[in-house]
Structure 1
Amino acid sequence: MGCPSGTVRPAGPRRRSETRGNRGGKAPDPARRQGMPSRGAAGKERVSELAQATKKALAAALKELLGQKPFHKITISDITEQCGVNRMTFYYHFHDIYDLAQWAFREEAAALLDGSLSAENWEDWFLSFLKELRRNRPQMANICRSLRREELERRMCELAEQILRPMLDQELGDCPVPEGDWSFVVHFYTYALVAMLLEWIEDGMKTEPEVLARRLNTICSGGIRRAAQDFREGEPPLPETK
């Protein structure tokens, strides 16, 4: 029976397709939310390329903003407006600004490594890395001023160990060192290098990169080899000091 004239039929429960804005109630494709072709239309490879390009654009926006103001004053809205995307796109790729910053740092470090690192050219890599930091002096200074020293050290050590571990493993070569001892060596050099870098940044990067790279190379190359020899399997443990 129809409703009497002048009355309004009570609204029943809305269908899922109406509430979700998508026929069949399926969640929208994240790729479409970013203006990307769907996986079925263009293939996973194309989506991956576009996602990588979006990440790089977000990282470039963060880097530019770091040249203008401290890290703790940068918001996700600042980054998305600078990049020309929406907040949903940012959260599709990164959890927060720290996540973006760590990804950007790893990408730059990986680009410097470029698969060509060996025990013979550590000094060249150190020099390239230090020069890159110096080129981004305002950004690095803003990061150091924005975070507590403990927080900065923790985040840098987590990231540095991911980068340094493959380098140190290569220096180790086939020397049979127990994993526990070798992890201790990696941990030690990670914290030592991060402390030196932070001191260099906070001091205004006054020491020339060439000088610092040579010193770091001398300490790391010789020290790591000696540690590997002392810790190699089959050797008696070092005596405990009293």
Structure 2
Amino acid sequence: MDALQTFNDTERAMADAFLELMGVKPYGKVTVKELTGRCNVARTTFYRYFEDTYDLLEQIERRLLDRLSLYRARKASSKDDRAGKPFESMENWFETGMSLRPVLGPLMGENGDVYFKERLQAQVRRELNAMMDDDRAPKDRLRPYYVALLASAHIGLLSYVVSVEDGSQLISAHDMAVIANSGRAAYYRCTEGAPPISDEQLFGGWRKMRDREVGVHDRPWCVLP
């Protein structure tokens, strides 16, 4: 999965060089001269596509934000198989994030753009609110706290995933979705006044399959695989 697939070959070469340099120095200190020298592109060619390195960074981040959309409401797209399916959406989000590790690593690392993580978290919060709207959760005083908890879980897990150097230490996107979903499960199963919600809507189709495999029908929500 290529986050920069909408770049042409020349743009992609410059974006790759920029991300490589970001791995060794703060993005604000990367110059056009060293960037173009690294990818063997003329400076005039760089300015044909980008105003400066900050413009290049913005275009990279915009594409990543598009790819890292967490949730589409049921009404948003009848053609999207994940629309209105929270758990499946979370699982897909982590799967996408894992596939984007080569790009997200330098961007979310110590030399990356802190503002990008803030933008991503704001986007995740908006989409989590849409998710809770679909679940008919009340807009009460508790809701923003649960949204903050869930958003922090998603961003925190993604930040950790892109920083892991040994790929063998990574867990699956499914297991990360289970972890991130635990706060949502706590809200619907343990909070007085939370609306009733089915196991399928809360845990996705995997829960029914899992219970069938192990012969459990009344499994407590907090027992994770």
1:156 to partner: Cα distance: 1.1
**Aligned 1:4-43 pairs, distance under 5 A:** none
* 8 A contact 1:119–1:171 mirrored in 2: no
Q: Structure 1's 164 and 119: CA in aligned 2 closer, same or farther, altered over 3 A?
A: farther
Q: Supply the distance in 1 between the matched residues of 2:42 and 2:145 (Cα, whole angstroms).
A: 42
Q: 1:126 aligns with which of 60, 81, 90?
A: 90
CA distance in 2 between partners of 1:123 and 1:157 (Å): 23
**Unaligned runs of at least 5 residues, structure 2:** 1-5, 196-225
Give the conservation status (yes or no) of the 8 Å contact 1:119–1:170. yes
- What are the residue-to-residue correspondences of 1:71-90 with 2, within 5 Å? 71=23, 72=26, 74-76=30-32, 78=35, 81=41, 85-87=45-47, 89-90=49-50
Which amino acid in structure 2 is aligned with residue 141 of structure 1?
G
Question: How far off is 1:103 after superposition?
Answer: 0.6
Q: 1:110 to 1:85 in 2, by over 3 A?
A: farther
8 Å CA contact 1:164, 1:190 repeated in 2: yes
**1:220 deviation in Å?**
4.5
CA RMSD of aligned residues (A): 4.3
Aligned to 2:137, the other structure's residue is in SS state coil
Question: 1:105 maps to which residue?
Answer: 64
Higher relative contact order (CA 8 A, sep 6+): 2
Cα gap change, 1:226 to 1:99, in 2 (>3 Å): farther
Q: Who is 1:176 aligned against?
A: 138
Residues 137 and 194 in structure 2, CA contact (< 8 A), matched pair in contact too? no
Taking the aligned partners of 1:158 and 1:91, their CA distance within structure 2 comes to 22
Judging by fraction of residues, say which structure has more helix. 1
Aligned-residue identity in percent: 9
Q: How far off is 1:86 after superposition?
A: 4.3
Which runs of 5 or more residues in structure 1 are unaligned?
1-54, 233-242
